[in-house]
Amino acid sequence: MRKTAEFLKENDNYLILTHRRPDGDTCGSAAALCVALREMGKRAFLAENEDITKKLAPYVSGLSAPDGFTPDKIIAVDIADEKLFLKSCERFRGKVDLCIDHHPTNTRYAKELLLRDEEAAVGVVIYDLAKELGVTLPLRFYESVYLAVSTDTGCFKYANTTPKAHETAAACMAAGVDFHRINTAFFIAKTGARIRLERELFDKMIISADGRICGTVITRDLIDEIHADNDDLDNLSSLLMQLESAFCGVLLTENKQRGEFKVSVRTRAPVSASRICAAFGGGGHDRAAGANISGEPHACLEKFMKEAEKEVLCTTGS
Amino acid sequence: MRKTAEFLKENDNYLILTHRRPDGDTCGSAAALCVALREMGKRAFLAENEDITKKLAPYVSGLSAPDGFTPDKIIAVDIADEKLFLKSCERFRGKVDLCIDHHPTNTRYAKELLLRDEEAAVGVVIYDLAKELGVTLPLRFYESVYLAVSTDTGCFKYANTTPKAHETAAACMAAGVDFHRINTAFFIAKTGARIRLERELFDKMIISADGRICGTVITRDLIDEIHADNDDLDNLSSLLMQLESAFCGVLLTENKQRGEFKVSVRTRAPVSASRICAAFGGGGHDRAAGANISGEPHACLEKFMKEAEKEVLCTTGS
């Protein structure tokens, strides 16, 4: 931590990278770091994230690098692997000077790595780092940190939540963050399209293995019909795990290319999502993994659920 | 606070009352207080709550007063008004020695009142009180406090969440509370009946005032058909506020007595839920209030939505 603070004090002209399919932690942490560096009198920018969603856009607005900016130092936040670099940032492979992360799977691609895998979010690491830097921090810093921490813990609901995540949130709230506006946008408010998607998810849900596996296909026709965007589609698969009997949720979302599906698998221990997805050339974590598959929607879902059934019966007993 | 601590030290043989239609705050706060008093060597019991739900029952188990227990002192927790006493506790009207509460609407019915309306949950007040008492606290105390704080803040999502609510949660987690088990039970896992209720809620939803008011009736026939219990019905009204345009959600739930409805109103500022409910003899907070009404289901909903419309148009503009 002290070494990282020294690095940030000694250098200048920073470009901060966020990961593809960005979430609140990568955007919030990057924005918080950028704001803190600027308070130190440094030039700091975010690399423009072409995957940014409407909901996250306000949190990175005004921080993007201008055309022609040549950074001295490249910093990656919340990026475990260079494979997660944006298309527009492929050119920075092998060139990251500092990576700040909390994923135990970090591939150590950066020259310097500040890895705190005990923290629920990189936002907490940035908060600690800013204290180490001893700089006065504006409200936007605290807003960005709150966004990072709340979104990465499912608003303090998930198993990864720590006492320190709560304490960091308390500090942000005490600094004046309008936390309820953030919570409303990310955890309460739903567009009409999102509500419709959730209904379809449960209306079309197929259940197998005595309620232990739930699967649904969301077709592109439906997405187009209800004008759902990427924010609306975000994290839908976790809803399949709400059924209290569920050990495994399988969601197929049809790509713009009809007949091709992005598959998102969520599980409860001891069922492994990455083992199920590996059978289709995909991968990920134990609790969340993904793959791609193509063909007729319900045949695809059936194939995936068959594979899930093997894993579920083998790990939870038939 | 000090005066309350003195009262608890000086007396003995406590009976602790929880409110009708109990929630996590009244049960968690009562259990935490009971456990803390016992650690002080006092005799303390909870009055049996005949409305207890399956999900809350484990948190009060083993604490109920035995037959023939004659209390010296009666304590009410999280009970703003004697009208909220359980049927089985009607006999304690006018006899409460101490009330610990956080509702600004507390009617001051008790001989002594510890009112902290700046706290998100009574659980936070009990936590402070236990520190004042200086007693060593067992894990069950912290579990009860976590339950109280997390449920009353919607898992730290609602506007009533405070830095202190987060700090109290952090202390409970540091003491070893299995917070994820509690969060899963109250905020993640859903029964098949609950999922069905949520679908019906949105399927039958009536919208008025340009999407600012959403209302639904859940009939007893539906509840019986899908075998929904009180846990399944808990906090359904907050879902109506998910629609991003919503300022007011009105949920009518038919009682066992057909044609009688419990009304639950949720709002976003500046719309006042308690003002709407007051027109029907009910009351509560600005953001959440309740009332009773009887008649034909849709006529009742319409009456309530008319009243809501007056409040919404008057506060958010027509």
The per-residue pLDDT for range B73-111, each reduced to its tens digit, is 999 999 999 999 999 999 999 999 999 999 998 999 999
| Cβ within 8 Å, pair A173-B183 | no
**What order do you get walking across the sheet with B260-267 strand by strand?**
B206-208, B213-218, B248-254, B260-267, B288-294, B283-284
Structure tokens at B80: 């703003």
- The amino acid sitting at B248 is C
Smallest Cα–Cα separation from B267: which of B285, B252, B292? B285
Q: How far is B140 from chain A (nearest CA, A)?
A: 18
Chain B contact for A169, CB < 8 A? yes
Q: End-to-end CA distance of chain A, in Å? A: 49
Smallest Cα–Cα separation from B21: which of B98, B67, B108, B87? B87
> How do beta strands B248-254 and A206-208 pair?
unpaired
Answer for the pair A206, A214: CB distance below 8 angstroms, yes or no. Answer: yes
Smallest Cα–Cα separation from A249: which of A222, A277, A221? A277
Q: Report whether pLDDT(A318) > 80.
A: no
**What order do you get walking across the sheet with A14-17 strand by strand?**
A44-46, A14-17, A73-77, A98-101, A112-115
Distances from the Cα of B303 to the Cα of B215, B247, B296, angstroms: 11, 17, 11
Collect contacts of A166-169 with beta carbons under 8 A, ≥24 apart. Answer: A166/B156, A166/B166, A166/B167, A166/B169, A166/B170, A166/B173, A167/B166, A167/B167, A167/B170, A168/A123, A168/A124, A168/A127, A169/B156, A169/B163, A169/B166
CA nearest B182 in A: which residue?
A157
Rounded Cα distance between B149 and B168, Å, is: 8
Residue B68 backbone class (left: φ over 0; alpha: ψ -120 to 50; beta: rest): left
The 3-state DSSP class for residue A144 equals helix
Chain B contact for A157, CB < 8 A? yes
Contacts of B232 (CB under 8 A, 6+ apart): B191, B193, B194, B197
Token match 């894990």: residue?
A: B139
Q: How confident is the model at residue A235 (pLDDT cuts 50, 70, 90)?
A: confident
Q: How confident is the model at residue A35 (pLDDT cuts 50, 70, 90)?
A: very high
| Cβ within 8 Å, pair A183-B157 | yes
Q: How far is A154 from chain B (nearest CA, A)?
A: 9
Distances from the Cα of A218 to the Cα of A94, A198, A199, A212, A233, angstroms: 38, 10, 11, 20, 9
Helical ranges in B218-291 per DSSP H: 220-225, 230-233, 237-240, 273-278
Q: What is the tens place of the pLDDT at every residue in A77-111?
A: 999 999 999 999 999 999 999 999 999 889 999 99
Rg of chain A, C-alpha, whole Å: 20
| Cβ within 8 Å, pair B163-A173 | yes
Rounded Cα distance between A282 and A272, Å, is: 13
Q: How confident is the model at residue A288 (pLDDT cuts 50, 70, 90)?
A: confident
Answer for the pair B36, B126: CB distance below 8 angstroms, yes or no. Answer: yes
Chain A contact for B270, CB < 8 A? no
* Neighboring chain A residues of B244 at a CB cutoff of 8 Å: 189-191
- Whether the upstream peptide bond of residue B270 has omega within 30° of 0, thus cis, is yes
List beta partners, residue A217. A252
CA nearest B184 in A: which residue?
A157
Q: Report whether pLDDT(A149) > 80.
A: yes
Chain A contact for B180, CB < 8 A? yes
Task: State phi, psi for B4 to the nearest 5 degrees.
Answer: -65, -45
| Cβ within 8 Å, pair B166-A167 | yes
Q: Crossing angle, helix A122-133 and helix A163-174, to 10 degrees?
A: 60
By Cβ distance, the residue of B179, B190, B241 closest to A243 is: B190
| Cβ within 8 Å, pair B166-A164 | no
Token match 């952090």: residue?
A: B170
CA nearest A207 in B: which residue?
B192
Interface probe, candidates B156, B183, B243, B266, chain A, greatest A C-beta count within 10 A: B156
Q: How far is B103 from chain A (nearest CA, A)?
A: 20
Contacts of B277 (CB under 8 A, 6+ apart): B263, B265, B283, B284, B289, B290, B291
Task: State phi, psi for B48 to the nearest 5 degrees.
Answer: -60, 135
* Neighboring chain B residues of A267 at a CB cutoff of 8 Å: none
Q: What is the tens place of the pLDDT at every residue in A174-228?
A: 999 999 999 999 999 999 899 999 989 988 999 999 999 999 999 999 999 999 9
List beta partners, residue B76. B17, B99
Rounded Cα distance between A239 and B79, Å, is: 35
| Cβ within 8 Å, pair B180-A171 | no
Rounded Cα distance between B139 and B287, Å, is: 32
- Whether the upstream peptide bond of residue B22 has omega within 30° of 0, thus cis, is no
Chain A contact for B192, CB < 8 A? yes
* Neighboring chain A residues of B203 at a CB cutoff of 8 Å: 199
Token match 């007011």: residue?
A: B248
Tell me, what's the pLDDT at A284? 79
Rounded Cα distance between B241 and A143, Å, is: 24
CA angle A58, A63, A64 (to 5 degrees): 105
Give exposure, B201-212, as e/b (b: 16+ Cβ within 10 Å): bbeebebbbeeb
By Cβ distance, the residue of B156, B191, B244 closest to A156 is: B156
Chain B contact for A7, CB < 8 A? no
Interface probe, candidates A54, A150, A161, A196, chain B, greatest B C-beta count within 10 A: A161
Q: Report whether pLDDT(A56) > 90.
A: yes
Chain B contact for A226, CB < 8 A? no
Q: What is the mean pLDDT of chain A?
A: 95
* Neighboring chain A residues of B190 at a CB cutoff of 8 Å: 242-244
Answer for the pair B16, B72: CB distance below 8 angstroms, yes or no. Answer: no
Structure tokens at A230: 């990427």
By Cβ distance, the residue of B161, B180, B243 closest to A179 is: B161
Rounded Cα distance between B308 and B154, Å, is: 24
Rounded Cα distance between A29 and A78, Å, is: 8
* Neighboring chain A residues of B164 at a CB cutoff of 8 Å: 170
* Domains defined for chain B, CATH in brackets: 2-187 (3.90.1640.10), 193-316 (3.10.310.30)
The list of chain B residues with pLDDT below 50 reads none
By Cβ distance, the residue of B188, B199, B241 closest to A199 is: B199
Q: What is the DSSP string of A78-98?
A: S--SGGGB-GGGGGGTT--SE
Chain B contact for A195, CB < 8 A? yes
Answer for the pair B197, B205: CB distance below 8 angstroms, yes or no. Answer: no
Helical ranges in chain B per DSSP H: 2-10, 24-39, 57-60, 122-133, 139-152, 163-174, 179-183, 192-203, 220-225, 230-233, 237-240, 273-278, 297-316
Q: pTM of the entire structure?
A: 0.89
* Neighboring chain B residues of A188 at a CB cutoff of 8 Å: 157, 241-242
Rounded Cα distance between A303 and A217, Å, is: 12
| Cβ within 8 Å, pair B155-A159 | no
Q: End-to-end CA distance of chain B, in Å? A: 46
